[in-house]
Amino acid sequence: MIDIEGVTDIIATYKKHGWILRRVLLSARTKAKIGGSIDLHDVRVADYSEIDAAWFSRPPKPGGIAWEIRYLGDPPFALLETIDESDPALEDKLRDVEGRLRQSISAKISA
């Protein structure tokens, strides 16, 4: 399980490279451990996710906005998706990517 320093380091690294923290997914265990002790700058934190992850985006370029979901644990892993934020199915697309991340992490851990 990741600690506060690990989460802070990941956020700082993404910020350094121009990414914006948009959302955070924390499991019940992680939320209980670090939830109230980290300043996420009013970023939306999901209520009790199955995985610990953070959503980042980059400023838009033609063709949509790059969204990346970064697993907050070992092994380090991320998925990148270009999404049109005006698409009414935005939330469904994000949940879809979250599901792919869960499956990928599960496969890597059990391998």
**Phi and psi dihedrals of 48, rounded to 5?**
50, 80
- pLDDT surpassing 70 at residue 39: no
pLDDT at 50: 85
User: Among all chains, which residue has been given the structure tokens 């999404």?
Assistant: 83
Q: 3: number of CA atoms within 13 Å, CB side? A: 1
pTM: 0.86
What's the pLDDT tens digit per position in 43-97?
877 767 888 999 999 977 776 789 999 999 888 899 999 888 888 999 999 999 9
pLDDT at 102: 92
pLDDT at 41: 67
